[in-house]
Amino acid sequence: MTISSDVVARLDGVVKRYNGVTALDGVNLLLQRGELLAVLGPNGAGKTTSIGLLLGLIRPDGGKAELFGMDPQRIEARRRIGVMLQSAMLPFTLRVGELLRLVSSYYPQPRPLEESAALAGIGDLLNRPYGKLSGGQQRRVQFALALCGRPELVFLDEPTVGMDIDARRKLWNAMRALVAEGCSVVLTTHYLEEAEALAQRVIVMAKGRVLSEGSVDALRAQVPLARIRCATDIDPRAVAAWPQVTSAEREGARLLIQTSEPENVLRRLLDADAALSALEVQRAGLAEAFTELTREEGEQQEAA
C-alpha cells in the first residue's frame, strides 16, 4: 500500500488571485481517509476559496488541487464526494423527496432514500415543497443531499448556520455517524465549539494562509494560558506584577488572572490570602487560541 492511497484530498502550494488580489497564498492541505477536518478562520480568510478549488469550481493560479489523486473537475472524482454549500437556492417548488431522488441519481450507488432521510432527520419532510421549509429544515435537507450518494468525502460549508441548538446537536451526531462509516469530512465553521466537539484536526486560516494546523489539543497548546478565578481581597495590580502573570483584573467580587504557569501563581495566591475561596482553574479554550492566532492579522487589518 502506498502512502498516497489514504489521502482523499490535497492542496499543494495553491495560489489563487482574483483581479490581482491574492485570495490564497501557498496553501497546503492534506486530508486523510476517515478524518474530520475543521477549517476555521475569519471572513475572507480563504476557506470558501479552498473548498471551491477542491470541488473544481475554480482553478488554481499556482500549485495543485487533487481529489482522490485526480483533477477535481473529473466527474469520476466528484462521484465520490458530497457537497453542502453555504448559499445554494434549491428549486422551491420541488418536494424534498424529489430533490433527494434527483441528487441520488447522479451517483453510482446511492443510499436508499429512507436511509438518507433518517440520517439527516428529515423523514417527516419528504412530501413538503422545499420552499415551504424553515431555514434550519432547509439546511438539514441540504445535508441529506450531501450524504445521499454514499460519498467517501463530504464538504460542509458552514452547515449549522441558522440552526437552533437542538438541530445543531442532531447534525453533529449525524456527522459523527458519517465519520464512523469511514467517510472523511471537511467542515468550515464559525462556531469554535463545533470544531472542538467534532474535529480530529483543525486548520486555522487567515488572509489566504494557513496559520496553524494540528489537533484541537495542539492548537490549544499553542496558547499556553490558563484562567484562574477566585474570591479574594488581594489587589489585582499587585498580582499583575507577579512573574508569568499575563493579566489580572477584578470582575465583581472575583479576581480573574491569566497566566502561563498556573501552579506557581496558585501557590503564591494561596500563601497570600488564607481566606481565598471559590477557586476555579481553567485551561484556555479553542476560542482563546483562535483569537490569539488571528489577533495579529486583525490588528493589521484595522491599522490598514
Task: Provide the binding-site residues for another protein, judged by CB under 8 A.
Answer: 55-57, 75-76, 78-81, 83, 85, 87-94, 98-99, 101-103, 105-109, 149-152, 155
* Smaller CB separation from another protein, 89 or 274: 89
* Smaller CB separation from another protein, 93 or 127: 93
C-alpha closest to that of 108 among 163, 152, 54, 144: 152
Q: Taking a C-beta distance cutoff of 8 angstroms, is the pair 254, 231 a contact? A: yes
* Smaller CB separation from another protein, 94 or 118: 94
* Smaller CB separation from another protein, 46 or 82: 82
Shortest separation between residue 129's beta carbon and another protein, angstroms: 8
C-alpha span between 258 and 247 (Å, rounded): 5
* Smaller CB separation from another protein, 111 or 207: 111
Shortest separation between residue 143's beta carbon and another protein, angstroms: 13
Strand order in the sheet with 36-40: 81-84, 153-157, 184-188, 36-40, 201-206, 209-214
Shortest separation between residue 14's beta carbon and another protein, angstroms: 17
C-alpha closest to that of 35 among 170, 160, 203: 203
Strand 226-231 with 277-283, pairing? antiparallel
Q: Taking a C-beta distance cutoff of 8 angstroms, is the pair 88, 142 a contact? A: yes
Helix boundaries (H) for the chain:
47-54, 75-78, 96-104, 113-120, 135-147, 165-180, 192-198, 216-221, 236-240, 262-272, 286-303
C-alpha closest to that of 122 among 91, 156, 153, 145: 145
Segment holding 27, helix H or strand E: strand 21-32
* Smaller CB separation from another protein, 145 or 230: 145
Shortest separation between residue 85's beta carbon and another protein, angstroms: 5
Shortest separation between residue 56's beta carbon and another protein, angstroms: 8
Output the 3-class SS for 204-259: EEECCEEEEEECHHHHHHCCCCEEEEEECCCCHHHHHCCCCEEEEEEECCEEEEEE
* Smaller CB separation from another protein, 93 or 277: 93
State the cell numbers at 10.
490535497
Shortest separation between residue 63's beta carbon and another protein, angstroms: 20
Shortest separation between residue 97's beta carbon and another protein, angstroms: 12
Shortest separation between residue 226's beta carbon and another protein, angstroms: 43
* Smaller CB separation from another protein, 150 or 170: 150
Other Cβ atoms closer than 10 A to 3: 6
Q: Taking a C-beta distance cutoff of 8 angstroms, is the pair 250, 236 a contact? A: yes
